Structures are given as C-alpha cells and as structure tokens.
Structure 1
C-alpha cells in the first residue's frame, strides 16, 4: 500500500509539473503576441510617408467633393485639413466659406468637378467654370493669405464611361480649368498621370479610389507647400 501511495503521489506531482509547464507556455505566447503587434504598429506608423505627408500639409485645407473626402475618410489627413463632401459642386462649395475662414489655412487645394459635370443644365461646363471663378474670387477676398491650387478632375474607369458618357467631358473640363487657373493667377496640378500609372487604384465604382491613391496624390502636391 505504501508503495502504491508513493507511485500515485509521484504521478500526481508529474501531472502538476506538466500542467504548470503548459500554463507557463501559454503565458509566454500571450505576452509575446501583444509585444510583437505593438512593435509592428510602431514600425509601420511612426515613420511612414503618410505621417510625413500629414505633417507637411498640416496648414492646408482640401476643398472638394467625395473624392477629396477620401483624404480624411482613409485617415491620410486629419479632418481639419479636409472640407469636402458627397455631391459637392463649385456652387455648393461657396457654403463652406465661413468654415474655411475659421480654419485660416496657408494653402487651399480645390478639387471639384466630378459632380459639376453631371449637373442637369444645358451647358454644365460653362455653369461649373462660372461658379469656380466665383469661388476663387471669394477665397481671395475672404482668405487672402492662402495660396490656391486647382486640382484636375480625376478620370474614371473605362467601364464607368460606358455607364455614364457625360464623364467623357472630363478632359475638356480639365483644359478649361487649366485656362481658368492661369487667368485667375492660381496654380493648377493635373492628377491624371497618377491614374495613368496606377489604373489598379480605382475603387469598385470606377470613380472613387482606394486608400493607396491618396499618398500618391499628396506626393504630387508637395511642391505646392514646400
């Protein structure tokens, strides 16, 4: 009986050691995982171009439509640097003037036109350009210290052109925006080269863009703020 009791105690002790070993192993794994995740997050967020670009454009405001809104939606820029929304046209952007004045930016980037082109009027391009001029003149008067840059209307996918032929007016509209910018003595930047080089950046609707588009967009605009 004594021998049997010793064998049983030895077995229980061995099982206890095994259980402790398993618990210790679990603790090591669970401790390492958060540590590794935290390290990865720090590495990928602290020194990325996205963070540097956000700092570079900290005194800028992007005024525009839902395409522009992607800058804050995808957290490339802070919300205070983006004044944009779905369906925004050059005419409707006039309603953002008070907000723009309060933000007091050093640079203003205007990216409008994707919705203007679809406006139900007989001459949508004329209509849009006239309101664009009024918007620029108002900004010059209300925010005189800000440097203004007009951005081209971004192209849409070939499939979208089939579904909505009015988008075929985008190249003509961009030519008129470029001429208008010259007359108004403001800068103009054509963004179409980004899409030409990265056609895979379209979102599913063929109009908006994936998050990867926006750092490339800001890279193309660095000269305007440096």
Structure 2
C-alpha cells in the first residue's frame, strides 16, 4: 500500500511538471528557435538606441528578449527570457536591482494568459502588482513603465484560442498601471502597422521590428511628459 501511494505521488508531480513546461513552451518560443537577424549595433542608428536606453532595462519574456537576441540593445539592458510570467519574474528582481537602472520597461503577459488556472488574468495581475511593489522597494527612484502585450497573427490565434484574451488582459494592465501609478504604453498600433514583421510563428518579431518599438516607446514617453 505504501509503495502504491508513493507511485501515485510521483505520477502527480510529473503531471504538474509537464503542465508547467507545456505552458511555458506554448506561449514563448526559446530564443534559439526564433529566426535570428543580427542588427549591427555599431551603426549610428543602433549606437543611438544604445545611448538612449543606456540607463534602462527592458524586463520581460521572449518578446522582450528579442531586443538583445537581435542585437538591437546590449544584453545588460535586457533582462528577459522564454516562458517568463509575472510570477516567475519575481525571482529576477534581485538581479534587476543589482543593475541599478533609472528606467524600467516591463512587458509580460504572453505566457500569463496561457497559465493553467481558473482565472489567468486575475492570477497574473495579482503577481504583476507584487512584482512592481518589489521593484519599487528595491529601486525607489526608478521610473517604471508597463508595455502592453503584443497581439498575435490570426493563424497563431486560431492555433491557440487563448490569445484572443490579449485585448482584455491589456485593459487589465492599463487599469493596474493607473492604480499603482506607473506608466503604461499600448504598443498594439505599431504591431498592426507592421504586420509583415512577425516571425514565422506569428507571435515573435523579426529584428526590424525592434527599432520601431524603441522609437515608439521613446516618442510616447515624450508625449506623456509633455502632458504632465
């Protein structure tokens, strides 16, 4: 009987592990599987981005990781990885604090909406709030801006219907940003305007998209400052 109970316990643990792994891989393709297109960071344009965001950290999942993977920003300005959720990102706060950025841009959620729980949005936003509270405690002088989750192609949405919840999730992010008084930038419009820049999976983006993203973020920050 003891042996039987032990085997049942091992089976349950294995099932949970497989569920978590599946969720991570479903939403976020490892960087090694994304089409790599190196952008020469030594050109005047790329040197400008490196200078513009030299005191910034982009904190997020594999969508964010594309900034360093495609050599658009230096690795020290990006703290991101495949499968990252707001909950998993909590363990990276110490490393974030160690880098002492003045500006932090957070883009998480592509995996959160796939999380195997009754209410992924509620669960994720709760952890998102905890994440920002911890960042504020470690870096009280840093400015924090949330970037919306980027939409996917119709084909990717058909393959994974839970991506239909991206718009609703982004509305939750916008409300959270207002509640805890951090910045919020909706990047959906530039994705719609550059739909040819999706990678083959319809979720990630080619290298050419990231300079456009950085320009948009910079312009939106300027508009937000002017509006204050």
Change (3 A) 1:44 1:120: closer
Q: 1:222 deviation in Å?
A: 1.1
Q: 1:44 deviation in Å?
A: 9.4
Query: 2:166 matched to 1:143?
Result: no
Q: Look up the SS of the partner of 1:110 in the other structure.
A: strand
Q: In structure 2, what is the equivalent of residue 156 of structure 1?
A: 152
Query: 2:210 matched to 1:214?
Result: yes
Q: In structure 1, what is the equivalent of residue 101 of structure 2?
A: 105
Equivalent-residue separation in structure 2 for 1:44 and 1:174 (angstroms): 31
Measured against aligned partners, the alpha-carbon deviations of 1:206-225 in whole angstroms (never above 9, x if no partner) come to 00000011001100111438
Structure 1 unaligned residues grouped into runs of 5+ = 1-42
Per the normalisation by structure 1, the TM-score is: 0.78
Q: 1:46 deviation in Å?
A: 3.2
Equivalent-residue separation in structure 1 for 2:115 and 2:93 (angstroms): 21
Q: 1:158 deviation in Å?
A: 0.4
Q: In structure 1, what is the equivalent of residue 64 of structure 2?
A: 68
Q: How many residues align?
A: 183
Query: 2:115 matched to 1:126?
Result: no
Q: 1:51 deviation in Å?
A: 2.0
Q: Look up the SS of the partner of 2:176 in the other structure.
A: helix
Q: Look up the SS of the partner of 2:79 in the other structure.
A: strand
Per the normalisation by structure 2, the TM-score is: 0.78
5 Å-filtered alignment, 1:163-174, equals: 163-174=159-170
Query: 2:200 matched to 1:204?
Result: yes
Match of 1:81 among 71, 77, 84: 77
Equivalent-residue separation in structure 2 for 1:172 and 1:184 (angstroms): 19
Match of 1:184 among 177, 180, 188: 180
Moved over 4 A (4+): none
Equivalent-residue separation in structure 1 for 2:135 and 2:167 (angstroms): 25
Q: Which has the larger radius of gyration?
A: 1
Equivalent-residue separation in structure 1 for 2:42 and 2:96 (angstroms): 29
Measured against aligned partners, the alpha-carbon deviations of 1:78-101 in whole angstroms (never above 9, x if no partner) come to 000000000000000000011011
Change (3 A) 1:127 1:59: same
Structure 2 unaligned residues grouped into runs of 5+ = 1-39
